[in-house]
Structure 1
Amino acid sequence: MIRFAFLIIFICSAAWAVEPDEVLTNVEYETRARAISKNLRCLVCRNENIDSSNAGIAKDLRILVRDRIKEGDSNEEVIEFITDRYGEYVLLNPKMSFQNLLLWISGPLFLLLGGLISWRYAKHKGQDSTKELSEDEKTRLKEIMDD
């Protein structure tokens, strides 16, 4: 029974994230604020949007989003304002840029490079690096062995 109660509380906790004092009276503004909040990452809760997070900073960001909307900013301006303050990390879906592409490609690239280096090292280590004796060396060695 206690487990069931905790399960219900856990499931419903996301519904309590946006507190009644944060909700805007203008339905259009509230819809915009919710849409923006669902695309912003909570800086405390990894990979959770600020709309469903209970963290204090998420509440502050939700209020900031609503304040910017009330001031007349467009969705893009609100996102740009928050990104300028907190960096691109705050976006759940970051913009496609050279830095992000480099970040995503560098991991597999280094893994491939390391595998290639290991393969080449193992291939050359197994080969015998001794050369065949020339005829002069063979006769000289035979003379030494016969003595």
Structure 2
Amino acid sequence: MLLFRLLLLLPLLWLAQPARAAIDVYEFESPQQEAQFRELTRELRCPKCQNQDIADSNAELARDLREKTYQMVIEGRSKQEIKDYMVARYGNFILYRPPLMASTLILWLGPVLVILFGLALVILRTRKAPTRARQAGLDEAEKQRLADLLNKDKES
């Protein structure tokens, strides 16, 4: 009976296997290195994930990037050297705040242009609305005809 219970629990244990969370543990020589590592992993975007930094992503690529960042921090590389390495390898997309360049101009100006376009559209449409309302008004002959039809309907 005990063997039977154990055999029933075995598939449940197998199903629980993926639930184990892998936690990365990094040891640093100084608090400054740890602070630099934490700051960099928050500033670098995972190229595979959508809008997620490498600190929060569970993607294999993000784990590799965290490991590479850790190695470079331990080697004593500066924050800018690490960012330059990542940009050279993955492009400006890896940075949450890409530099203002011709290739990233749309990233910086796009939202502003969309808002300005929307405001211009709203202003134009509201200015045309009173004109359309006046044009849609009835002249005296049409008003009289409408009144006659309504009176005729009430009499019936």
Q: Which TM-score tier does this pair reach, normalised by the shorter chain?
A: 0.5 to 0.7
What runs of 5+ residues in structure 1 fail to find an aligned partner?
A: 1-8, 130-147
User: How far is 1:41 from its partner?
Assistant: 1.9
Tell me, in whole angstroms, the C-alpha distance in 2 between the residues paired with 1:128 and 1:101. 42
Tell me, in whole angstroms, the C-alpha distance in 1 between the residues paired with 2:112 and 2:99. 13
SS at match of 1:123: helix
**2:26 aligned with 1:26:** no
User: How far is 1:70 from its partner?
Assistant: 4.3
Contact 1:17 1:54 in 2 (8 A): no
- In 2 relative to 1, CA 71–25 (structure 1 residues): closer, same or farther, beyond 3 Å? closer
Tell me, in whole angstroms, the C-alpha distance in 1 between the residues paired with 2:56 and 2:124. 46
Contact 2:41 2:53 in 1 (8 A): yes
Residue aligning to 1:118 = 125
Of structures 1 and 2, the one scoring higher in RCO (CA 8 A, sep 6+) is 1
- In 2 relative to 1, CA 69–25 (structure 1 residues): closer, same or farther, beyond 3 Å? closer
Tell me, in whole angstroms, the C-alpha distance in 1 between the residues paired with 2:23 and 2:116. 40
Moved more, 56-65 or 78-87: 78-87
What runs of 5+ residues in structure 2 fail to find an aligned partner?
A: 1-18, 137-156
Length-normalised TM-score, structure 1: 0.58
Question: Which digits, 9 at most, give the CA deviation of each residue in 1:74-107, with x for residues without a partner?
Answer: 1012112212332333223x15637244123112
- In 2 relative to 1, CA 123–85 (structure 1 residues): closer, same or farther, beyond 3 Å? farther
- In 2 relative to 1, CA 33–107 (structure 1 residues): closer, same or farther, beyond 3 Å? same
User: How far is 1:59 from its partner?
Assistant: 0.9
Question: Which digits, 9 at most, give the CA deviation of each residue in 1:24-80, with x for residues without a partner?
Answer: 553454442232112212233333321232111101111222333345421012112
SS at match of 1:26: coil
Tell me, in whole angstroms, the C-alpha distance in 2 between the residues paired with 1:38 and 1:106. 28
Contact 1:17 1:51 in 2 (8 A): no
* Aligned AA (1:50): I
Residue aligning to 1:78 = 82
Runs of 4+ aligned residues of structure 1 deviating over 6 Å after TM superposition are: none
Residue aligning to 1:107 = 114
Tell me, in whole angstroms, the C-alpha distance in 1 between the residues paired with 2:56 and 2:47. 13
**2:45 aligned with 1:41:** yes
User: How far is 1:109 from its partner?
Assistant: 0.9
Length-normalised TM-score, structure 2: 0.55
Aligned alpha-carbon RMSD (Å): 3.2
Percent identity of equivalent pairs:
26
Contact 1:44 1:57 in 2 (8 A): yes
